Structure 1
Amino acid sequence: MAQLVVTYKTPKDTAAFDKYYAETHIGLAKKIPGLRKYQINQGPITALAGSSDAYLIAILTFDSAAAIQAGLASPDGQAAAADLPKFATGGADLVLFDTRDL
């Protein structure tokens, strides 16, 4: 398995972010080919060493890192990526990695 983790930083207007994310962006992201699971945090995000500027974390699970890259390169993946500037006014960090169970 592999995961794409998107950390959205606190937006300028949290209510507008929440509305757009729920009504528009999730639908776009769920169309990315190869997506197996889509999770977001519930409740506030805290850091063990103090405050965090993270507002929302999304975890998208795929079969492999190659599947993530192929999904993001697809028209639906490109549409989801192009949508980010429309609502992520605080910025977003995206990381992807393969995972393994221990």
Structure 2
Amino acid sequence: MHCLTVIYPHPDDPEAFKSYYEEKHLPLAARLPGLKRYHYAYPDAVGGGDVFCIFQAYFEDGASMGAAMESGVGGEVAQDVANYSPKGAQIFHFPIEV
């Protein structure tokens, strides 16, 4: 299993972020080819930090994740980020260790 993690900074308008993200962006991301499952949260930071939202998507392996990111839907997902998070996002990916 391979995990894609996206971390978003605090937006200027949290309610606008949540509305767009949940109503438009997540349904788009759910169409990523090879996506096994995903979840997201608006966490409370422990010890500070500039994290408003975390998204995690799971794929069979790194190759599947890469193919999803390079797909047409992956391009749409990447381009859509500026519509709700003009401050951008940090993206990480890693194999799940058990």
TM-score band (shorter)? over 0.9
Contact 2:43 2:54 survives alignment (8 Å): no
1:34 corresponds in structure 2 to: 34
Query: Following TM superposition, where does structure 1 have runs of at least 4 consecutive aligned residues deviating by more than 6 angstroms?
Result: none
1:63 corresponds in structure 2 to: 60
Alpha-carbon displacement from aligned partner over 1:2-46 (angstroms, at most 9, x marks no partner): 0000001101110100000011000110000010011112x5321
Residue aligned with 1:78, SS: helix
What is the alpha-carbon distance in structure 2 between the residues aligned to residue 96 and residue 74 of structure 1? Answer: 17
Question: Sequence identity of aligned pairs in percent?
Answer: 33
Contact 1:12 1:89 survives alignment (8 Å): no
Specify every segment of 5 or more residues in structure 2 that has no aligned partner in the other structure, as ranges: none
Give aligned pairs, total: 98
What is the alpha-carbon distance in structure 2 between the residues aligned to residue 19 and residue 60 of structure 1? Answer: 20
Q: Go from structure 1 to structure 2 and tell me whether the alpha carbon gap of 1:97 and 1:44 turns closer, same or farther (over 3 Å shift).
A: closer
**Aligned-residue CA RMSD (Å):** 1.1
Specify every segment of 5 or more residues in structure 1 that has no aligned partner in the other structure, as ranges: none
What is the alpha-carbon distance in structure 2 between the residues aligned to residue 95 and residue 85 of structure 1? Answer: 18
TM-score normalised to structure 1 length = 0.90
